[in-house]
């Protein structure tokens, strides 16, 4: 594990960088500052310790949509939080309308009612609903939500920001749509799915050619490409791998301008394993 970044930097960790089925990497899960988890398709309770981190510090879980490769490890995460290691209550799970019902169905299928009640009590579970245009502070982070178009609905892209630190965006799974563009426009660093490599792909996903277009259109946003089926090089972007951590500095000219992002200020300072 690398040394900590500057005090005002935000640490982005890609827990899983692969798409649903290829095995190119673990399934979708991303961590901001070890406190906000976006999606839980990977066994984060097993993977985080390999990077010197723990699920005990997570305050907020954001679900982008209800596909298995983004959510099916939620019962394992919640079980680990409730029954192993340091017990700390006050966990919020947020997502599109229906998230509470969906997650409780996963939990009940996996563990049965008794264990689910114990998990709910021990974690003091709270729920948050996000819809298009949401801009709420939850667990100390400003969360922006943007409806995106995927093969299942509802689906959200998010932006996450602590105080005046960098804005980190997450596409979830999406086609090239207005909601995705809004998320990119407000993000300093955007973790964007890039499922297709050689051409357009099935299932409501982005492909490399569209990412190259977006990278050219949004020069003030630094792109991290993830949800990968294969690996290669894309000019102007960082290709994610499992357990990649990046310390993202705060935009240095925000104080001067009062708002917004400065060109090229979203310096992703270092990639590390």
Q: Which residues of the shown chain bind Zn ion in the complex (CB under 5 A)?
A: 67, 173
Q: Which is nearer to Zn ion, 80 or 206 (CB)?
A: 206
Q: Which is nearer to Zn ion, 79 or 179 (CB)?
A: 179
Record the tokens describing residue 107, joined without a space.
Answer: 């939990």
Cα 217 to Cα 28, 179, 199, distances in angstroms: 25, 15, 19
Q: Which is nearer to Zn ion, 67 or 222 (CB)?
A: 67
Looking up tokens 């245009």 gives: 133
What is the DSSP code (8-state) at residue 122?
H
Start-to-end C-alpha separation, the chain: 7
Task: List, in sequence order, every residue forming a beta bridge with 165; answer none if it has no partner.
Answer: none
Q: Which is nearer to Zn ion, 70 or 222 (CB)?
A: 70
- Report, in Å, the least distance between residue 66 CB and Zn ion: 8
- Report, in Å, the least distance between residue 85 CB and Zn ion: 30
Q: Which is nearer to Zn ion, 67 or 229 (CB)?
A: 67
Cα 207 to Cα 175, 228, 232, distances in angstroms: 9, 10, 13
Helix-helix angle 99-111:74-83, to 10 degrees: 70
- Report, in Å, the least distance between residue 28 CB and Zn ion: 8
What is the DSSP code (8-state) at residue 202?
T
- Report, in Å, the least distance between residue 51 CB and Zn ion: 25
- Report, in Å, the least distance between residue 273 CB and Zn ion: 27
């Amino acid at each position: 594990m690398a040394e900590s970044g500057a005090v005002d930097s935000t640490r982005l960790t890609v827990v899983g960088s692969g798409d649903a089925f290829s095995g190119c990497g673990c399934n979708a899960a991303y961590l901001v500052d070890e406190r906000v988890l976006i999606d839980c398709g990977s066994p984060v309770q097993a993977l985080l310790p390999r990077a010197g981190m723990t699920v005990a510090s997570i305050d907020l879980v954001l679900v982008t949509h209800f596909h298995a490769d983004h959510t099916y490890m939620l019962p394992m995460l919640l079980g680990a939080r409730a029954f192993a290691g340091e017990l700390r209550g006050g966990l919020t799970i947020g997502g599109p309308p229906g998230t509470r019902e969906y997650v409780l169905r996963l939990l009940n299928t996996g563990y049965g009612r008794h264990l689910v009640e114990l998990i709910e009590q021990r974690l003091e579970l709270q729920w948050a609903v996000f819809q298009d245009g949401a801009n709420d502070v939850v667990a100390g982070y400003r969360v922006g939500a943007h409806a995106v178009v995927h093969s299942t609905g509802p689906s959200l892209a998010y932006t996450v920001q602590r105080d005046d630190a960098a804005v980190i965006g997450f596409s979830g799974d999406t086609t090239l749509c207005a909601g995705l563009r809004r998320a990119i426009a407000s993000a300093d660093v955007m973790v964007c799915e890039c499922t297709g490599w050689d051409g357009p792909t099935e299932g409501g996903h982005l492909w490399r050619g569209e990412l190259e277009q977006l990278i050219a259109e949004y020069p003030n946003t630094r792109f991290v490409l993830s949800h990968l089926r294969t690996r290669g090089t894309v000019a102007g972007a960082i290709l994610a791998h499992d357990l990649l951590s990046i310390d993202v500095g705060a935009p240095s000219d925000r104080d001067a301008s009062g708002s917004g992002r400065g060109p090229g200020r979203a310096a992703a300072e270092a990639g590390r394993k």
